[in-house]
Each structure stands twice: as structure tokens, then as C-alpha cells.
């Protein structure tokens, strides 16, 4: 059972995060904690986007087929949830429980994956990456121009207050007592033992539960005979075929599964944020973010993308433009004296330098780290740890820690 210890610890650490964040930000080192730790709503984003990155890694890292248009499935799931809530989808009324909508969002994305996969898997390598990118871009342009979606489709769509004013509820469908709403504004709060959990903390647990279930499902698939064939395809597709596996079917199966979970991730995103834009769903740079997370965390390791995305989000928030929660500049403004901040070095003040070169420019530093990872740590954080320990981290780490 030792291989479960590490996983349970990671889940527990995540589960303790809201309490930890609350305690630390109230403590004497509160300002430092607020500067360094991601805020709660960032942590929710980490979960749903992490799920998307994991689903991207599921197909790209395990079968070796770079799905550069993966944002198509994320976007489909996200738009589906918003459109259902606005009563635009026939057969699925606005009042459908969110869990069922979420499932449908995944299924619609999976259906799309069937269509794209049937065409795209006739190709491989660079061509596969380009054709999936092509499909995603077609959908992106389409969604930007389709006026059926909203009055101004270029700016995306949001959940209308008239058809769906209440928050999206995660829980057991049709049982009122077992449902809680997610969302920074429309979500529920919970009071437990005299402590009130805010909407973001509640959303964190609820989204986290769905993400965990999806993660475990994908983990199960990877470790099943089906997953072994996926890895065989990555390592040597011709050999897998020669042994007698119908690789096309396995690739399709993996792609559709991956599309399903990407759709669920998109649905969670839309449920939490209540509004979607073409840029943060269908655009190819959304896939780029998943790629970034996968490479830094570990390409071809299921948990890696979550760590990779955690890294990405932390840096982005640390260097976020002034006035958006904790970060470097607000911290320095509270801690350093005015004299230091306005000290001039070569005609540039310290504050001016931070404003110009650091704040809001996290992409630069994340990009540099990404390049360094590609060059020197191609297996990513988790992959490097795995190489170091000589086997899967979850199996080898407990041995290292306790048996010796």
C-alpha cells in the first residue's frame, strides 16, 4: 500500500491549503504569506486548468501524439455549460443539475474528439499537431463570429442572470441537501465548528473533488492494459502494430477519453467563472499553457502537469499587475521605505523597474524556465524525480524516506 501514501499526502496537503492559507495570512508573517502563496481563487483555477493539462498530457505525453488543438475540447465543455445555463441547447433545459450538465459537456467534447480523431489519426508527428491545431482554430474563429452564442460573440458569453441566477451546484444531483454551489460570488459558504469557509474555499473543495475523481479515473486507465498499449504506441508504434494491436483504435480511445476530461475541465471553469471568452477557451495559447504545465511538471507523468501549472500560476500571481491581490509590488510597497522605492539607478526608479520589467510580465520568466526545462530537464519535475529515484515517485519515495 506504500504507493498510496505519497498520493494521500499530496491530496491532504491540498485539502489543508485553505486552512493553511487562512492561518498564515492572519499570522505575524501574514504579509509575506499573502505575497508568496497563491490566493484561493487562483487555487481553484489551478485545479480545473490542472485537470485540462492532465487530459492534454494523457494523450500527448502517453501516446506521443501532440494534440495541439486540445483547447477545442476545453472550449467546447466551457461553452456548453454556459449555453445550457442560458437555455440555448435543445433537450438540456437551463435548470439541469450542474453535475449532469458537466457530464454532458464531457460527452459533447468526446463526440467532437471522435470527429477530429477520425480525420487526424490518419497522420502523425508534426502533421498531427498541425491538423488538430487547424481544427481548434476553425472552432475558435467560428465561436468568435457566431451570433447565436451571445450578442457579442467576440467577447464571449456569460451566464445570464435571468435564466440561471443561482450558482452551479456540485454534489449528488436531485438531492438538495447534498449540493453546494461553486463560484467566487454565487457560491455557497459553509460554517463548520464556528469557522466560516468562504465561497472560494468551498469551490476549491468541490472542484477538487471532481478533479480528483477524474484524475483517479485517468490514472486507472493509464495503469490498465489499455494504458500500456498507449505507452507502447509512444515508444514504438510499428512494433505495437506488429504485435497485433489495432493502434488506430487505441489512439482513438485515448483521444476521446482525453477529450472527455478536457470537456469536464472546461465545464468546471465555466461553472466557476460563469463567463467564457474565445481567448481563454478555444485559442491555441490555451493549449500552449497546458503544454507549459506538462513540460515543466513532467511530460508523460499524470501528476506532473498539476505541479507544472502550480508553478506557472504561482509565478504569474507573484508578478501580477499591481492591485490584484498579493504579489511582489504590493509587498515591497508595504515593506520598503519610499526612499528605497524611488531610488534612481541610471534614471530608473526601483518601483519603475519592477513596474516595467516584472509586473504582469510573468510570461517572460515562465518562458525562460520553460526553455531551460526543454533543454536540461526534458522529463520535467516529476520525471526528473522519477529518474533520480529509479521508478515511479509514488513507489520509490516512501522507501527512500522510511525504510532507509
Partner 1 sequence: MTAVADPALADAGLALADATPGSVFAASVLQTGFFAGLAEFLRPSNLAGVLVNGLAKSALFVMIAAGLSLIFGLLGVLNFAHGSLTMIGAYLGGLVMVVLVGGATGAWARLGYFLVALVVVFAALAVLGLVVEVGLIRQLYDSPPIYQILLTFGVTLVLEELVRIVVSFYGLQPISDWQEALGTKPAFLARQTTLGPVTVRGLALFEILLGALTVVGIWLFLTRTRYGLFIRAGSEDDEMAAALGIDVRRVFTVVFALGSALAGIAGALLMWDPVWGASVPLAAETLLPAFVVVIIGGLGTFRGTVVGAVIVGMADAVTTWWFVNVVTWTWLPEVTVFLILVGMLVVRPQGLYGVEEVGGH
The site for partner 1 (CB under 8 A) is made up of: 64, 66, 119, 122-127, 129-131, 133-135, 137-138, 141-142, 144-148, 284-285, 288, 291-292, 295, 356-357, 361, 363-364, 366-368, 370-371, 374-375, 378
Burial 207-222 (b: 16+ CB within 10 A, else e): bbebbbebbeebbebb
Largest CA distance in the chain: 73
Nearer Cβ to partner 1, position 3 or 144?
Answer: 144
Nearer Cβ to partner 1, position 114 or 285?
Answer: 285
Nearer Cβ to partner 1, position 222 or 366?
Answer: 366
Give Cα separations from 151 to 82, 145, 184, 273, 390 (angstroms): 14, 10, 25, 19, 56
Q: How far is the CB of 278 from partner 1 (least distance, A)?
A: 11
User: How far, rounded to the nearest angstrom, does the alpha carbon of residue 98 sit from its chain's CA centroid?
Assistant: 19
Nearer Cβ to partner 1, position 81 or 131?
Answer: 131
Q: How far is the CB of 304 from partner 1 (least distance, A)?
A: 14
Measure the CA–CA gap between 273 and 280, rounded to whole angstroms.
Answer: 11
Nearer Cβ to partner 1, position 52 or 121?
Answer: 121
Q: How far is the CB of 402 from partner 1 (least distance, A)?
A: 36
Q: How far is the CB of 243 from partner 1 (least distance, A)?
A: 22
Residues with Cβ < 8 Å from 291, sequence gap 6 or more?
56, 60, 68
Nearer Cβ to partner 1, position 213 or 285?
Answer: 285
Q: How far is the CB of 101 from partner 1 (least distance, A)?
A: 23
Retrieve residue 137's grid coordinates.
482554430
Q: How far is the CB of 139 from partner 1 (least distance, A)?
A: 9
Q: How far is the CB of 135 from partner 1 (least distance, A)?
A: 7
Q: How far is the CB of 128 from partner 1 (least distance, A)?
A: 9
Measure the CA–CA gap between 113 and 252, rounded to whole angstroms.
Answer: 8
User: How far, rounded to the nearest angstrom, does the alpha carbon of residue 251 sit from its chain's CA centroid?
Assistant: 23
Nearer Cβ to partner 1, position 148 or 402?
Answer: 148
Nearer Cβ to partner 1, position 141 or 401?
Answer: 141
Nearer Cβ to partner 1, position 2 or 379?
Answer: 379
Q: How far is the CB of 381 from partner 1 (least distance, A)?
A: 15
Amino acid at each position: 500500500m506504500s504507493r498510496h501514501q505519497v498520493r494521500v499526502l499530496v491530496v491532504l496537503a491540498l485539502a489543508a491549503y485553505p486552512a493553511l492559507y487562512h492561518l498564515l495570512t492572519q499570522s505575524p508573517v501574514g504579509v509575506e504569506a499573502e505575497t508568496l502563496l497563491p490566493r484561493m481563487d487562483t487555487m481553484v483555477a489551478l485545479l480545473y486548468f490542472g485537470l485540462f493539462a492532465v487530459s492534454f498530457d494523457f494523450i500527448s505525453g502517453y501516446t506521443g501524439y501532440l494534440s495541439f488543438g486540445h483547447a477545442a475540447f476545453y472550449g467546447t465543455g466551457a461553452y456548453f455549460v454556459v449555453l445550457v445555463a442560458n437555455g440555448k441547447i435543445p433537450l438540456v433545459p437551463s435548470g439541469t443539475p450542474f453535475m449532469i450538465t458537466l457530464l454532458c459537456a464531457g460527452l459533447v467534447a468526446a463526440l467532437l474528439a471522435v470527429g477530429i480523431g477520425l480525420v487526424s489519426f490518419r497522420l502523425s508527428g508534426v502533421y498531427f499537431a498541425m491538423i488538430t491545431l487547424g481544427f481548434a482554430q476553425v472552432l475558435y474563429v467560428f465561436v468568435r463570429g457566431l451570433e447565436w452564442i451571445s450578442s457579442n460573440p467576440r467577447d464571449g458569453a456569460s451566464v445570464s442572470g435571468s435564466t440561471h441566477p443561482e450558482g452551479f451546484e456540485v454534489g449528488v444531483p436531485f438531492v438538495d441537501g447534498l449540493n453546494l454551489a461553486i463560484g467566487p460570488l454565487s457560491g455557497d459558504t459553509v460554517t463548520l465548528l464556528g469557522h466560516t469557509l468562504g465561497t472560494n474555499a468551498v469551490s476549491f473543495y468541490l472542484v477538487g473533488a471532481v478533479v480528483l475523481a477524474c484524475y483517479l479515473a485517468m490514472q486507472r486507465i493509464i495503469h490498465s492494459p489499455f494504458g500500456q498499449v498507449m505507452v507502447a504506441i509512444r515508444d514504438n508504434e510499428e512494433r505495437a502494430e506488429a504485435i497485433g494491436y489495432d493502434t488506430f483504435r487505441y489512439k482513438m480511445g485515448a483521444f476521446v477519453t482525453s477529450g472527455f476530461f478536457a470537456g469536464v475541465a472546461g465545464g468546471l471553469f465555466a461553472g466557476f467563472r460563469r463567463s467564457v471568452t474565445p481567448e481563454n477557451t478555444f485559442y491555441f495559447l490555451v493549449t500552449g499553457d497546458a503544454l507549459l504545465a506538462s513540460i515543466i511538471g513532467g511530460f508523460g507523468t499524470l501528476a506532473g502537469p498539476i505541479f507544472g501549472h502550480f508553478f506557472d500560476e504561482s509565478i504569474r500571481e507573484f508578478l501580477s499587475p499591481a492591485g490584484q491581490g498579493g504579489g511582489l509590488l504590493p509587498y515591497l510597497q508595504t515593506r520598503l521605505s519610499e526612499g528605497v522605492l524611488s531610488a534612481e539607478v541610471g534614471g530608473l526608479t526601483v518601483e519603475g523597474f519592477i513596474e516595467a520589467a516584472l509586473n504582469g510580465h510573468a510570461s517572460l520568466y515562465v518562458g525562460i524556465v520553460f526553455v531551460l526545462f526543454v533543454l536540461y530537464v526534458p522529463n520535467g519535475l516529476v520525471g526528473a524525480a522519477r529518474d533520480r529515484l529509479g521508478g515511479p515517485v509514488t513507489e520509490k519515495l516512501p522507501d527512500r524516506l522510511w525504510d532507509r
